[in-house]
A and B are shown apart, each in its own frame.
Chain A
Amino acid sequence: MRLLGRLFQLLFTWWNGATIGTLWTISRTGQLVGEDEQGNRYYQQRGGSRRWVVYNGYADASRVPPEWHPWLHHTLKEPPTLAPPKVKPWEKEHVPNMTGTPFAYRPPGSLAGTGARARGTGDYEAWKP
């Protein structure tokens, strides 16, 4: 049953992993370059310049971590597997865009967040005895 579901996804959805056409092209001409922490796999065209990512699950561009992003966009020649970028101690873990999920950022006064808003101070300063 799970296999059937996966097949259905592969045939009819474009937002899970890659489409069937892309997978076909990659299998013909692509060469695996590496895989990131989330399990996204990165391919490069043999003898060509095209680069692909096949998402592990939901296809969301913000899931590409910063070390793979420049290679994928042809900013860097070498993939992080060959030239790993220096990681500064203050760097935070990469988090994909959480908009639309329960983990989305809510400002302190947002009704969707805590709902508790700081009381307005008014546009004047009251005299206190």
Chain B
Amino acid sequence: MTKIIIDGKEYDLDPNLTLLQACEAAGKEIPRFCFHERLSIAGNCRMCLVEVRMGGRPGPKPVASCAQQLRDLPPVKEGQPLHEIVTGSPTVKKAREGVMEFLLINHPLDCPICDQGGECDLQDQAMAYGHDKLERFKENKRAVTEKNMGPLVKTIMTRCIHCTRCVRFAAEVAGVDEIGAIGRGEDMEITTYLEKAVTSELSGNIIDLCPVGALTSKPYAFNARPWELKKIESIDVMDALGANIRIDARGREVMRILPRNNDDVNEEWISDKTRFVWDGLKRQRLDRPYVRKDGKLTEADWPEAFAAIAARFATTKPERMAAIVGDLADAESIKALKDLMTALGVVNLDCRQDGAKIGLAPDGTRGPRAGYLFNSGIASVEAADALLLIGTNPRMEAPVLNARIRKAWLRGNLNIARLGPPADLNYPVCELGNNPADLIAIADGRHAAFETLKSAKHPMLIIGMGALARPDGAAVLAACAKIASATGMIGPEGEAGWNGFNLLHTAAARVAALDLGFLPGQGGRDTAGIVAGAGKGEIDTLFLLGADEIDTRALGKAFVIYLGSHGDKGAHRADIILPGAAYTEKPGTYVNIEGRVQRANRASFPPGEAKEDWTILRALSEVLGRKLPYDSLAQLREAMASDAPHVAQLDKAPGFPPADPAIWRAIGTAGPIDNAHPFVYPISDFYLTNPIARASATLAECSRSSAGRPLASAAE
């Protein structure tokens, strides 16, 4: 620890802190533009100047506080007073005013038409730290041509103050060296060199990083002002990571989505799909019930739709009914649907639309929770020193997690290997080929990767749905569990407090549904069995809770009830459509990959006659004569908590499960692995993975441009 005086008061601080962080720890506000805690230090805006007095004498010149650490200060001489940082002296004030004046020389005065207006660092700091006699420059301001950065990021480069946050983000966090600065001094320009979109799934974050209005959101351009927006803290459902988001709504319209800081989950990044999906919330909405009459879907009211369902259910035997939960469902509606189906005696239930062989023990009972979680926790990725990716492409399946892996790799002590088809992850990976049977070789110690994992202190597996959503998925899972226990990732041989057995889900609803046991009961069918059964006429009635990723054309003559928010494949096939709420329109509980339970809040109300999903199921249960025992969300959550107690523990990862070897034998089913079929990644188009994303025009444009097709030039 280092003793230092900050503005007359003595503090004892970590010598690794920068002067700026030390001042913040002392409660002093230091203005800054280029400094950002999650990026490297550039020290080029000079806004954070402070005065450092050494030995009681005034410093020779102001110091950029972001670029100097406490330990960089010379040692205090015997008998001399401690070094002092002064943040409010006339020298500092004058220095800040001078820097601000230089920044404003070339900054346009277009705040009234600038989208950053109201949330602009330059505006705020000019008010707080600038001075009011800025009339000595009569010269013309410089102008910079606009750059094309694709369909997401709008550029007004004249406003750029060259903080280089976007350049550092692209190079360090996103891992694409596609933004850079050319020219020097007044001629410096930030550019993508080739006038093209940044090929990163995280590119939207440079909009948040930009302290001025040089990089703004293209879909949000001129739509709203920050002060007229209602800000709601919520949870993202575009991937299974459960990124913390803030939804900004005006009236009942969602205007934009921003990240919220959560060091354990998403730090402060979100993927482009999360950020720009909001226009999908306004299109293709199911806003009234529909009933199919004479082969055509016709508008209906709620009692009519319920009566049609009741008539159908009265004549169907429970073993000829089935229900499938989709990827975006909240835990409340999953619980309500499970209770309703259980009351009706239905056992053909499944939440694994992709057919992943998880959640069930070899004897068909529910498997241990550790068998389907990202056990190490997301933040612990940074502690890992050996990582084996099995049939997963984290860049597509969870881009923010991929940034975390890259961060760990950048620190230099992470060995990454992959069993699966090649794909660019923005960090180098040792390719082990794509022979699924190699897993057994690794588990038996006959493969080089075994030694690497065994000798590592914190080894880690990430198993993707590409490895598990296949007929021999249970055998793959069992082989992975064996690798985990054999290499000491868990259990008595491994280090206490470490569990590197991680599954990476692609669906936000999956872990909650597995926790609540939305799985085939005794003698029940799984998704593939339900779809095949419907095609063969063995399943008569099928209830889809937002399930669109199954093959809806193979459902034969089954009577399909679809409860969801968007008109997608499921709604097209449905015989009865019940309009539900999208994730921004209901208070819901979601469980992310690491088992962290998070609550989403309502930002706006569902459109038209649509209702929150669980209330629809509750109303339907009464019509069916199987009234669900809860009348309010609180009662439903209580019932959920008594069913699965951990679902009541909010925002807490479960931690490492007990090192019981018996658990690891109950994961998956040991068996032969089909080497003839290599692993295939579950996501082929990152931007169009769910019904909301497929309704979004912005993401459709991204999908087009990322596929290498020419950009529509109408945008700018």
Contact = CB atoms under 8 A, between A and B. Distances in A.
A126 B253 contact: no
A125 interface: yes
A124 B297 contact: no
A127 B569 CA distance: 12
Given A122-B607, A123-B251, A123-B252, A129 B296 contact: yes
B571 interface: yes
Given A124-B282, A126-B288, 7 more contacts: A122-B608, A123-B251, A123-B252, A124-B281, A124-B287, A127-B287, A129-B572
B297 A126 contact: no
B125 interface: no
A127 B285 contact: yes
Contact of B567 (A122, A123, A127): A127
Interface string B268-298: 0000000000000111111110100000110
B607 A129 contact: no
Query: Which 4 residue pairs of A and B lie closest in terms of their CB atoms, listed nearest first?
Result: A127-B567, A129-B297, A124-B282, A127-B284
B286 A125 contact: no
A124 B567 CA distance: 13
Contacts of B566: 127
Contacts of B572: 129
Contacts of A127: 284-287, 566-567, 571
Contacts of B286: 126-127
Contacts of A125: 282-285
Nearest to B566: A127
Nearest to B299: A129
A31 B567 CA distance: 78
A127 B566 CA distance: 7
B287 A126 contact: yes
Contact of A124 (B288, B290, B296, B607): B607
A126 B607 contact: yes
Interface of B: 251-253, 281-288, 290, 296-297, 566-567, 571-572, 607-608
Contacts of A123: 251-253, 282
A123 to B, nearest CB: 5
Nearest to A127: B567
A48 B297 CA distance: 83
Contacts, number: 36
A129 to B, nearest CB: 4
8 contacts: A123-B251, A124-B282, A125-B282, A126-B288, A126-B607, A127-B287, A127-B567, A129-B572
Nearest to B571: A127
B282 A126 contact: no
Nearest to B607: A124
The secondary-structure label for the interface of chain A is: loop
B286 to A, nearest CB: 5
A100 B567 CA distance: 50
B251 to A, nearest CB: 7
A126 B608 contact: yes
Contacts of B284: 125, 127
A125 B607 CA distance: 10
B295 to A, nearest CB: 11
A127 to B, nearest CB: 3
Nearest to A126: B287
A127 B287 CA distance: 8
A126 B287 CA distance: 6
A43 B252 CA distance: 62
A129 B608 CA distance: 16
Contacts of B607: 122, 124, 126
Contacts of B567: 127-129
A122 B281 CA distance: 13
A129 B290 contact: yes
A53 B697 CA distance: 60
A124 B283 contact: yes
A51 B253 CA distance: 58
Nearest to B283: A125
Contacts of B608: 122, 126
A74 B324 CA distance: 82
A129 B284 CA distance: 10
Contacts of B285: 124-127
Of A123, A128, A129, chain B has the most CB atoms within 10 Å of the CB of: A129
A122 B380 CA distance: 46
Contacts of B251: 123
Nearest to A125: B283
Nearest to A128: B567
A128 B566 CA distance: 11
Interface in A1-46: none
A112 B164 CA distance: 57
Contacts of A128: 567
Nearest to B577: A129
